[in-house]
Every structure is written in structure tokens, then in C-alpha cells.
Amino acid sequence: HDTIGMLTLDQAGNLSGACTTSGAAFKYHGRVGDSPIIGAGLYVDNEVGGATATGWGEAVIRAVGCFLVVEFMRQGHDPETACRMAVERVISKNPDWREIQVGFLALSKDGEYGSFCIAPGFNYAVRTPEIDNQLFDAQSRL
């Protein structure tokens, strides 16, 4: 269960991304979550970087969250900062933000990566030629 997002940078410097839908979570009849909406649950611009999201999809859709993360990287912010800024945008739109969870993961064109979420508990795995599937805890606001 839960969303899985993946971001990759190949040896030629090309970025790609994918994400699953959330499995059993939030599966109401007729609901479309953020995962299948490009720009919301996933966005990749091969000139800049990619981002993927998890958490309460409605809040991610309203912020066009992953597009926002990539635009913050385009402005020169590192991936973790871009994710944090997108989380702050979600927080600003949701007075009940302490009751929800949203998290972003980002990878830049130069191979930097980072993550940020509202509440602690998310982690992500990194694999590079130097790092063999190491788990990291996402930074969080709470």
C-alpha cells in the first residue's frame, strides 16, 4: 500500500520518473489522486530535475506540488530546499496542516537529491555508484 515514487538520472544525464497510485489508501469510487496527474504527483523536466509526491493527494493537486518543486529548483534552489518550499506552500493553503501529511522527493539534473514532508515518518532510498540502497529519513516540518 501507499504511493511509491522513483526518480532516476542515467549515465547520459537524462532524468526520468515514475510513481504508483496509492493502492488501497484513499480509494473512493471515482476519486483521482495526485499520482496520475502530471505536475501534481510527478513532474520531470530534463533540463532541471524531477519531483514526486506522497501523502494527501488533494492537497498536492491544489498546490500543483511537483511542478512547483521543479520550478523552485529551476530558480536555483537545491532539491531539499525546493521540497521544503513546496511543503510551505501546501501548509499555507491548509489551515489544518498539522492533521495532514504531504511529502516531496526531488532529484536535480546534477544528481543532488532531497526530500521534505510535513510530519516525520517518511523515508527514501538512494542508489548511486557510491551508495548501495541507503535509506534516509525525510526532513519534516513537525
Q: Smallest gap, in angstroms, from Cβ of residue 132 to ligand ASP?
A: 26
Based on the residue annotation, tell me whether 52 is a catalytic residue of this protein: no
- Judged by CB under 6 A, the residue of 15, 34, 80, 107 near ligand ASP is 34
Q: Are 6 and 107 in contact (CB under 8 A)?
A: no
If the CB atoms of residues 33 and 50 are measured against ligand ASP, the closer one turns out to be 33
Residue 87: all three cell numbers together? 511543503
- Judged by CB under 6 A, the residue of 18, 26, 81, 126 near ligand ASP is 26
Residue 111: all three cell numbers together? 544528481
**Residues paired with 45 in a beta bridge:** 49
Q: What is the helix (H) or strand (E) element at residue 86, kind and residue range?
A: helix 79-93
56: number of Cβ within 10 Å: 21
- Our finding on whether 115 is near ligand ASP (CB under 6 A) is no
Stretch that binds ligand ASP, among 8-16, 54-62, 82-90, 108-116 (CB under 6 A): 54-62
> Alpha-carbon torsion 83, 88, 92, 97, what sign?
positive
Q: Which residues are catalytic?
A: 3
Residues lying near ligand ASP in the complex (CB under 6 A) are found at 2-3, 22, 25-26, 33-35, 41, 54-57
